Structure 1
Amino acid sequence: MSQDHYRDLLQRCAGLAAVPTIVVHPCEAGALRGALEAAEAGLIAPFLVGPRYKIEATAHAAGLDIRHLPLEDVAHSHAAAERGVALIREGRGEILMKGSLHSDELLHAVAAREGGLRTERRLSHVFAMSVPSYHKPLFVSDAAVNIFPSLDDKADICRNAIALLHVLGIKRPKIALLSAVETVTARLPSTLEAAALVVMSQRGQIDGALLDGPLAFDNAINAEAARVKGIRSEVAGDPDMLLVPDMEAGNILAKQLIYLAGADAAGIVLGARVPIVFTSRSDNAQARIASCALAVLLAAARRAAPGVPA
């Protein structure tokens, strides 16, 4: 994230105690270092879960000291995912952090009907992005979990993101519902779903935010593009979040912003019993710490008001 957005995020965490965090299978240097750096920043208290010999070998090769950290030895990444989820259920941690295992492997354990961390909400991923050419933090969802979300899934994706944005102090977040065009047409189902989501928000089925769509990316993000096309909208040109039509579009959009527009991005999975820090092997230290900071704020909000979704 930009220095200003990054500093603001860390300032929001000032005064909060380090949150017990289960770090699942940190068997790659970046994943292990990310947990240690977040601990050094006072954000989390890591509890490592994975094959001891791999974690210790990774630490030795990277010059990292983990002797002071609790470490539970399990045989492999699959066992680490299951044990990490079990430790959360046992009350040993308030945040789950993805290490170097595959995303699907961790989410499978989280979403398990027996022994998982499911809630009534659909799991969804949010990128918190700082785009140099945009005037405020920009959130993108869902670019990593739901491949082809249904209308009901998209409603939950909105609800999860709204809860996060409220915790971050955005009282009435503006959500742009993206499609390829800004007109409703049966030939593009995402436009129909966007229109339905707007009506759902107007009737209180999705509360706490201002939704508008369908919007194409240009008129969603640029007020002049919206004006030229005759779109009158409080959201166009000033969204806090972009709801993408599917994971493919969202993943491409997020990576374009990172690699072409120079954006920084923090990632988190919402909708489980606890926030899940969802980092990538390519994330820099700042992105990893920002992801942990988001989870810390959510954990604090959940502790203060147990009904607040993770």
Structure 2
Amino acid sequence: MVQIDSDKAETAHEKYERLIARAKLVPATKTIVVHPCDETSLRGAVEAADESLIVPILVGPCRKIRAVAEEHSLDIGRFQLVDMAHSDAAAAKGVELIQEAKGELLMKGSLHTDELMRAVTASATGLRTARRISHVFVMDVPAYAETLFITDAAINIFPDLDAKRDIIQNAIDLFTQVGLGEPRVAILSAVETVTSKIPSTIEAAALCKMADRGQITGGVLDGPLAFDNAIDPEAARIKGIRSVVAGRAQILVVPDLEAGNMLAKNLTFLAKADAAGIVLGARVPIILTSRADSIRTRLASCAVAVLLADARRRSAALPAT
């Protein structure tokens, strides 16, 4: 476990503050907010709008949304509302509005993640692309110098090798497109040596070879690595691991959802980290927040999505060569 010292604790959350500050420099992004029918989700949309990050379009039962806003003194009079009777209908309508180019981002409200993702992944009407859909936690760990990505801890339960290729590429693309540079990617397992007794070590080795062959691009990969020698230089030195990734990882690729979820929550509750969430691989970035998220974390989730949308917008505007 990462230890927190007092000097580093004083600068907690500075990584998020930098992301939010950068996102404020680009135009506020039209965002479809699906079923924001409780205080937490509605307040998150209002605060992101107040910070000039997003321009929300609120989709859900208007009477309920207005009642929540009135009860908690939230100003939603400036926002467009689209009346839908219930959460399933709101999710479907949100996806439809994205398809009609009414928004560049999709944001989860108070509905269950599964409801939203069913609409996103629907074969005939959803937002699928050729890329596997995956989730990234963008973590601000007070004691760790780097912004830390953990993937996938929310969507893919037991991803196979092909799915992991997409999961890694999604995370690398996010890292580079929000302006963080070329990432160092650690593929995690229980040990740092390849053994047939632990299948995730074999997959890690295969993924590194895929990167060597150009099947994964934009980052520097190493694996298998145990968590300690992925993030601690001294642990890597003691094990005799020499690579640019070991001890300095910026993206942690977990073997499966259970491992990723436990790791992210471990860092959140024991290392006092914040964990912004975003879903990638769909036609637009999806802001996926939790009821337990702090205001800063919600803003960071929006900021990352806004920066990604802006990068895509600018890339699309470049002339073909």
What range is the shorter-chain TM-score in? over 0.9
Write the distance in 1 (CA, Å) between the matches of 2:169 and 2:205. 16
Match for residue 160 of structure 1 among 159, 163, 170: 170
Q: Is the 8 A contact 1:171 1:208 kept in 2?
A: no
Match for residue 225 of structure 1 among 228, 235, 242: 235
Q: 2:22 corresponds to which residue?
A: 12
Shift of 1:3: 3.8
Cα deviation, 1:194-242, whole Å, max 9, x if unaligned, reads 0000000011110111000001111111111111112112111101110
Cα deviation, 1:79-102, whole Å, max 9, x if unaligned, reads 010000000000100000000111
Cα deviation, 1:38-91, whole Å, max 9, x if unaligned, reads 000001000000111221121122121212211111111000100000000001
Cα deviation, 1:149-185, whole Å, max 9, x if unaligned, reads 1101110011101111111323321000001111111
Shift of 1:2: 3.5
Match for residue 257 of structure 1 among 264, 267, 273: 267
- Within-5 A mapping of 1:1-310: 2-306=12-316
- TM-score, normalised relative to structure 2: 0.93
How many residues are paired up? 308
Q: Is the 8 A contact 1:277 1:295 kept in 2?
A: yes
Aligned-residue RMSD, C-alpha: 1.4
Pair 92,211 (structure 1): closer, same or farther in 2 beyond 3 Å: same
Shift of 1:307: 9.6
Worse overlay, 81-90 or 54-63: 54-63
Q: Look up the SS of the partner of 2:277 in the other structure.
A: strand
The aligned amino acid for 2:305 is: A
Q: Is the 8 A contact 1:2 1:264 kept in 2?
A: no
Write the distance in 1 (CA, Å) between the matches of 2:285 and 2:310. 11
Q: Look up the SS of the partner of 1:305 in the other structure.
A: helix
% of aligned pairs identical? 60
Q: Is the 8 A contact 2:13 2:274 kept in 1?
A: no
Write the distance in 2 (CA, Å) between the matches of 1:145 and 1:260. 23
Write the distance in 1 (CA, Å) between the matches of 2:192 and 2:17. 36
Q: Look up the SS of the partner of 2:316 in the other structure.
A: coil
The aligned amino acid for 2:249 is: P
Q: 2:4 corresponds to which residue?
A: none
Q: 2:8 corresponds to which residue?
A: none
Write the distance in 1 (CA, Å) between the matches of 2:64 and 2:188. 43
Q: Is the 8 A contact 1:59 1:65 kept in 2?
A: yes
Gaps of 5+ in 2: 1-10
Write the distance in 2 (CA, Å) between the matches of 1:242 and 1:307. 32
The aligned amino acid for 1:145 is: I
Q: Is the 8 A contact 2:13 2:141 kept in 1?
A: no
Write the distance in 1 (CA, Å) between the matches of 2:159 and 2:69. 39
Q: Flag as ranges the 4+ runs of structure 1 deviating above 6 A.
A: none
Q: Look up the SS of the partner of 2:58 in the other structure.
A: strand
- TM-score, normalised relative to structure 1: 0.97
Gaps of 5+ in 1: none
Q: Is the 8 A contact 1:97 1:278 kept in 2?
A: yes
